[in-house]
Structure 1
Amino acid sequence: MASVDEFETTVDSTEEDESDDEESEEEEEPKLKYERISNDLVDILKKDCISCLAVHSKFLAAGTHWGMIYILDHIGCHIRDTEITAHSTTVNQISIDDHGDYVASCSDDGKVLITGFYTAENNQSLNFDRPVKAVAMDPLFYKHGSGKHFVTGDDKLVLNEKGGLFSRHRTTVLHQGEGPIREIQWIGDFIAWANDLGVKIYDMSTRSRITHIPREHGYRPELYRCNLCWKDEKTLLIGWADRVKVCVIKDRVNDDARNLPSRYVEIVYMFKVDFFVCGIAPLGTDLVMLTYDKPSEQGTIQDSSSKRPQLQLVTPHMEDFDVISSDALSLRGYEEYKCNDYHLECLPEENLFYIVSPKDIIVSKLRDEDDHVTWLIDHEQYEEALAVVQQKENTLQKHNLQSLGKDYLDFLLSKREFEKAAQLCVKILSKNKDSWEEQVYKFAKIKQLKSIAPYIPRENPVLDPAIYEMVLLEFLLSDAERFLQLVRDWPSHLYKVQTVINALLDRLDRDRGNTYLMRALGDLYSYERQFDKALSIYLRLKHKDVFQLIHKHNLFGSISDKIVQLMEFDKEQAVSMLLNNMDKIPMEKVVNQLDKITRVFVYIFR
């Protein structure tokens, strides 16, 4: 099964040397995430090394040091086993037309190949008899009548095209005499290339060169490659050694008597960095840069961790920049590689960035809301994570309120924050019967039923009777007052009343004088319609509701032998009840019981 491996990164190694105070500061959430491309690419890298990569929305084209070009999907699987035996040695650059119908490649073997995926009609193989370091295809190469343009770079920039009556191959030298050309990028009407002296841009619409941007550093161009990337059809990004420039092509407003090109280039951002740039790409108004640490003053890299390339997200300014994030990347074999061994390719429209080394390809992308929630969870910021999920649950793929809430509940229980967890159950579990029962059992397992009892639902949902009985039993054994409160608060249909009565009777055998338990027993007998037993307990306890119980359930037949107890408990209520219900309790029965006590006159008087 195809897969993409998760890829671990670390923060910039400079952060690891900060003081203890700075280490204690709150960790900042990363902006990018990384995945290692695997699948068929793994087998390729066992026998070969990547020398360059070109990316398209349809596929990846990987060139190798053995001269092969492998066409892969974005997770590293062969596309219809497509591989091109293109060259006899290192592939230096690959270019793809906008439709993804053709690829162009160049190599140190001096050959330039144009290969079509769907037709061989426009395939070409040219031999320059000298190493060709760069090639770029007209983005519209696929179109009929486009001229089939492409440019090559060795010691000169050569435009190749088909034209004329017989569509013959023609070449035009666009520039030469300033050293080898090692990088070419073509977008729309504009071709940008770099030689030893600087970067130049050629306008195909006017067939003229419109600018020269000087190198402005002293590093050897063959060791520190110039990296060019078009942000859009008018904006060129340049990262070369320790210099970064953002250039914008503009139209001249007024005609100039000096016969200057109709377009010119303005450098809108330009700054020096304290590292080497291995690749550059756009991300909105920010820049993504693949970087490599400069050697120390002694000429060696300071330590092994600093040799790892870093992917930095920065905000450019005219003479400076702000670092948004910086991630050190542990690419396979990074200990052996230098600046030019790394490449950065991108799909700007998808915000995908491909970090390339001879034995690895890592894809980086912006972290999404799911990643944000995962990061919050990993840093135990569950309340913030819950807020995000509640707001954006419909757009999340990996997280939902139910699963996140359960994780948070488990976290709170592990931290012994039982009351907070119990309160949260109402919000998280809502009307889910199974989830409620699962959580109650978790609380029972850690002997914390007392915490969750006030929040257990009594309706919508109604839980299994065993749940309520378990909670009642917990309080029966440990807190008689709370037990009585639950017996009165919870509707009796929630549990099996007789089961609770049996447990309560067993408990009373060991604690006969407990009035809370006796009162609960009276209530439970009443729920079971065992009113005689309930009345007996109420009278014994001199319960204030005894008269209400008699009236409500018409228990007058049951009190004929309890007149004295009722009088001793509350003679006013007793006399009133007896006088108002003489048809139910004959006066003779009342007098027979009262003639034994001196207070009989009270009843007679009334």
Structure 2
Amino acid sequence: MEANTEDVDEQQGQDPIEEANRNFHSTKDTAVSINEPVSTYTSHLEEAPETDDDNDTVGNTTFETTYGSDEDDSNDVPGEADIQRTEEIDAYSIDEEDEPPKLKYSRITGLPPNFFSRDPVSCCNIHDDYYIFATHSGIIHVTDPNFTTIRTFKAHRASILSIYTDGQFFASGSMDGTIVIGSIKDEKDIIAYDFKRPIHAVVLDPNYSRTRSFVSGGMAGKVIHSSKNWLGQRSDIVLDENNGPIVAIHSVDDILLWMNDKGISIFHTQARQVIKVIDKPEDSPRSDLYWPRVHSLEMDRVLIGWANYIWCIRVSIRTSEDKSEMASNKSRILPSAATISFRAVQEKKVEIEHVFKLDSLIAGISSFTDDYWMILSYEPPTADGDEKVKFNYPDLKLINSLNGEVDFEEEIGMKNIDNLGLNDYSLHRHIGSDSTSYFVVSAKDGIIAQEVQLNDRLDWYISHDRYRDAWEISEHLLSPEKRLNLGLKHVDNLVRDDGWELASQLLAEYFSSSMSYDEDFVKNVVSQWESWSSIFIQANHIKELTEVIPRSPKFSLSASIYDSILSYWIGKNVSKTVELISEWDVELYDSKKVESLMETSLEGSESSILRKCLADLYVKTYKPQKAVEHLMKLKDPNLFMFLADNHLLTNFLSDIPQIIKLKFSDDEYNNLPLKILENKLRDVIQVLVDHRHELNTRLIFNLMEQQHLTFINYLYLEKLNDIDDFLLSSFGDERVKLYSEFDRPKLLPFLMRSSDYDIDLAISICESSDFIEELVYLLGKIGENKKALTLIIDKLNDPEVAINFAKHQNDREAWNILLDESMTRPAFIKALIETADDQSNPFYDPISILKRIPNNVKIEGLKNSVSKINENNELNYLMNQLILKLIYGRSEAISKGYRRNLLKGYEIETNDAIFKELIGKFQTILFYNDSLDSNPVFKSQSEMFPQGMAVTAYTNLDKKLEHLQFLTNYLKSKSANDDL
């Protein structure tokens, strides 16, 4: 149904722009034409009255307008140099605050002088590319985001209650009942419509440049969709009516939302119907008393704040395919032949995600960061005890979008708030290239709030002497030098408050984080290290400094710093001294000075820990010889290996026995088994052997002998024998003694294989030690066979040893002595009979033994021994027969095989070219082979025998046999001659 609200000017055929200009000129003396240049309007404006800005109050805080950068970045345009765009407000002057505020503020000062003062702002629209401010006098002021004026003109005769822009066109609705729509840049592209009743809200069609349609509403209580028909006249369709004044209209894609007494109506433009109505809560105030605030969160979400309620609504939006199928000529709402389509319209889904009720009224709403919403709350005036009305400052609140809880709240100290109501305030968001700004605008003032950035936090920390916090956040904000200075200021504050321990820890942190920069800066760091180290030392806080002082020589700090630290600890704490010297590089300090201090300290009081540390220090400074004295006092069991590793064995040769003894406690070595001694001295013996060309073997032997360390000599000579036995050629007698004392099983083999010893001495040693076997060998070696056999028979009473001795001597005299002595000993007689063999046959045989046995000698088991001899003889005979039979059988097999190979025939290929050639010669063909395993070689008679031999082909068998015999004899004789 069309509304009967066509423009009277259009009905009379008059130009609406000229009529608007005429009406605007007649309203006020300061009014200007819609097309009047900006400079003309500016010249007519009266200057705003001066206000006291030196003590502005914003965010419940007193601010100084001098805070911030000294540079003027207002980007003034020519002709507007007297207008400051924004006035930064110091929001960080509250001493009670522990942390930087979330928001910083600046006052809008870039508008014409009369704005906010003589001509209050009635509404505004903050677009990504443009700012539009409208006043109660009907003036519209358009700027870019830098507040550079683009246009300023009078558009209405009364207060402008709604302003809208899509970035190309703007639309304004006024209390005078008119709507003005025009291009932002093209001053000539503008048109006005009169709806006769106050307009509260107006929005343009998303395709206004093509459709020239828009939606409006106001006190008439109607939501009207206006467009131009095919005759170019305005055509209106009422979308909703009779539900009270329209207080807001908002569009999201193809969805319209309007608010009136009925609540929130959601209209689908393609379906041409209201798809959902959200009723007003029963406890909410009158609709037109507090106008709602609408903000688009995302493409498919809308945030509505109305009175003290918040709704978060989600709608399904169109796809690109849906948009391409839209009617392109006329209004999507106006049914006509060009727009009627039978295509099914996609069903829209509307979902209420959240509904929150607040304790305060909402004058503005916007999205914030991290799932937060920003709310501009309004508190109605209150009366004090004298019934004087008190107007309250608005508050900015951050509400958690998940639970509706208020997590942040701050009062905004705006100017001239008296007599202002909720509808006089608004909140807008602008996403700039650097940061997001939040515009808090009232009729009398405008403030821009921005989330505090790192730079702002840094400035706040510095201004509050919070240098530690400033240092932590300034890594990417300040140069290394400035950042280090912040840290040092923090350290200085800690030192002033006697916080030396924390100061030292942070000092190390600040310096260590600065070592990755250029060389000049590193030099500065080193210089600062030295300065602060001196401060700590002079204040006698060396303990704190010790824990943080650099321990790497790359810092190149003065050695005197480290000398002072070590000097302090040497006289105070031995354990700490040892820790530092073990961990610090010797290049850090003056080692000579420290060594002298340690020597002096040890003279006064003994400390094994300090002495060991001093010895280690001597080693680090390449003076191991000085360390030996201290290690000997410490009875270091590893001292011998220390000497070896540092090539000092020759320097302390006479002390080697005593040094080796350090590996044992007291006289422990006298009671330990040789095996354990060998394990404990394995490394020592190996070193002595490895240094055999450096350390004289005889000298080492004598030193050990003098200290009664003969077990070392034994182990030493044994190891040396494995490596270089040539060096032991003069140690024969010593080895006999050592073997007799420590390892008798090796004595006899040594005596048998060596001749580098005094045999008389060896005999003496064996006699004194009662070593019969060794003594028997030695006596036999010097020809004392009788004495030797006597020892075996009398001492050992072992017939087997006696027989083996006689066999070894292989001497008839020895055998005779053995036989004579054995005749009275049954065990010996039996052994001689049973062990008779080829080696003993030249000297006796079992039969002769049997004949010599005395009659009175009883030999147990003699019968078995005799039987055994007989069995052995028969067995030998059988074994010989078997062996002979095997030899005969093998010979016969070889002979038969040979004969068979000589007589066997061979297959030959008759097609072979060589064979055919031989057959064609009519000669005797011979074949032979050098090996029984290979095939024969064929040759003709003429090739095998000299000329003149008979080569006649015979057909008579006898002749052939005679010829064959002749050839055979010839070959045999030739073979015999070749062998000779």
TM-score of the pair, normalised by structure 2: 0.43
Q: Give the aligned residue type for 2:126.
A: V
Match of 2:707 among 599, 602, 605: 602
CA distance in 1, matches of 2:660, 2:211: 110
Over 3 Å counting, the alpha-carbon distance change for 1:423 and 1:582 in structure 2 is farther
Q: Which has the higher contact order (CA 8 A, sep 6+)?
A: 1
Match of 2:105 among 27, 36, 40: 36
CA distance in 1, matches of 2:300, 2:706: 114
The answer to whether residue 646 in structure 2 is matched with residue 553 in structure 1 is yes
1:513 is aligned to: 604
1:57 is aligned to: 128
The answer to whether residue 165 in structure 2 is matched with residue 82 in structure 1 is no
Superimposed CA distance per residue, residues 512-570 of structure 1 (whole angstroms, 9 cap, x where no aligned partner): 4355655544444433334444445555666655544432333355447xx47x77776
Contact 2:508 2:549 in 1 (8 A): no
CA distance in 2, matches of 1:445, 1:213: 73
The answer to whether residue 175 in structure 2 is matched with residue 104 in structure 1 is no
CA distance in 1, matches of 2:624, 2:452: 71
CA distance in 2, matches of 1:524, 1:325: 63
1:344 is aligned to: 427
Contact 1:9 1:330 in 2 (8 A): no
The answer to whether residue 611 in structure 2 is matched with residue 529 in structure 1 is no
Over 3 Å counting, the alpha-carbon distance change for 1:270 and 1:366 in structure 2 is farther
| RMSD, aligned CA | 6.1
Match of 2:565 among 465, 470, 474: 474
Match of 1:92 among 151, 161, 166: 161
Contact 2:500 2:541 in 1 (8 A): no
Superimposed CA distance per residue, residues 187-228 of structure 1 (whole angstroms, 9 cap, x where no aligned partner): 333443345665555554455666766654574555422334
Contiguous gaps of at least 5 residues in structure 1: 11-15, 17-26, 252-261, 390-395
Contact 2:553 2:585 in 1 (8 A): no
Superimposed CA distance per residue, residues 256-300 of structure 1 (whole angstroms, 9 cap, x where no aligned partner): xxxxxx989887766654321213456798865432235679899
Contact 1:292 1:310 in 2 (8 A): no
CA distance in 2, matches of 1:83, 1:53: 14
CA distance in 2, matches of 1:573, 1:218: 98
Contact 2:110 2:147 in 1 (8 A): no
1:486 is aligned to: 580
Percent identity among equivalent residues? 19
2:205 is aligned to: 138
1:500 is aligned to: 591
Match of 2:293 among 227, 242, 246: 227
1:464 is aligned to: 555
Contact 1:275 1:292 in 2 (8 A): yes
SS of residue matched to 2:566: helix
CA displacement at 1:136 relative to structure 2: 1.8
SS of residue matched to 2:707: helix
Contact 2:381 2:391 in 1 (8 A): no
CA displacement at 1:138 relative to structure 2: 1.8
TM-score of the pair, normalised by structure 1: 0.64
Superimposed CA distance per residue, residues 298-335 of structure 1 (whole angstroms, 9 cap, x where no aligned partner): 8999998974424242558xxxx742524223243386
Over 3 Å counting, the alpha-carbon distance change for 1:178 and 1:512 in structure 2 is same
CA displacement at 1:54 relative to structure 2: 1.7
Match of 2:399 among 313, 329, 341: 313
CA distance in 2, matches of 1:584, 1:193: 109
Superimposed CA distance per residue, residues 13-65 of structure 1 (whole angstroms, 9 cap, x where no aligned partner): xxx9xxxxxxxxxx9x99x9434356xx3333865224323233334333345
Q: Give the aligned residue type for 1:602.
A: Q
Match of 1:162 among 228, 233, 238: 228
CA distance in 2, matches of 1:113, 1:528: 94
1:164-313 mapped onto 2 (5 Å cutoff): 164-165=230-231, 167-171=232-236, 180-195=245-260, 199-200=264-265, 203-205=268-270, 216=282, 219=285, 221=287, 223-229=289-295, 237-245=303-311, 272-281=357-366, 288-293=374-379, 307-313=393-399
CA distance in 2, matches of 1:285, 1:333: 31
Over 3 Å counting, the alpha-carbon distance change for 1:153 and 1:398 in structure 2 is farther
Contact 1:294 1:301 in 2 (8 A): no
Over 3 Å counting, the alpha-carbon distance change for 1:308 and 1:511 in structure 2 is farther
Superimposed CA distance per residue, residues 356-378 of structure 1 (whole angstroms, 9 cap, x where no aligned partner): 3342334466999x99xx99xx9
Superimposed CA distance per residue, residues 214-264 of structure 1 (whole angstroms, 9 cap, x where no aligned partner): 65457455542233445567766543323445567799xxxxxxxxxx989
CA distance in 2, matches of 1:242, 1:472: 73
Q: Give the aligned residue type for 2:422.
A: C
SS of residue matched to 1:463: helix
SS of residue matched to 1:466: coil
SS of residue matched to 1:43: coil
Report how many aligned residue pairs link the two structures: 532
Contiguous gaps of at least 5 residues in structure 2: 1-71, 75-85, 318-346, 665-680, 714-980
Q: Give the aligned residue type for 1:477.
A: Y
CA distance in 2, matches of 1:346, 1:171: 32
Q: Higher strand fraction: Structure 1 or Structure 2?
A: 1
SS of residue matched to 1:551: helix
The answer to whether residue 214 in structure 2 is matched with residue 149 in structure 1 is yes
CA displacement at 1:161 relative to structure 2: 2.6
Over 3 Å counting, the alpha-carbon distance change for 1:151 and 1:604 in structure 2 is closer
CA distance in 2, matches of 1:573, 1:214: 99
1:393 is aligned to: none
Contact 1:351 1:366 in 2 (8 A): no
CA displacement at 1:343 relative to structure 2: 1.2
Please tell me whether Structure 1 or Structure 2 has the larger radius of gyration of its CA atoms.
2
Over 3 Å counting, the alpha-carbon distance change for 1:421 and 1:274 in structure 2 is same
Contact 1:472 1:486 in 2 (8 A): no
CA distance in 2, matches of 1:367, 1:107: 39
1:71 is aligned to: 143
Contact 1:192 1:201 in 2 (8 A): yes
Q: Higher helix fraction: Structure 1 or Structure 2?
A: 2
Over 3 Å counting, the alpha-carbon distance change for 1:302 and 1:226 in structure 2 is farther
The answer to whether residue 421 in structure 2 is matched with residue 330 in structure 1 is no
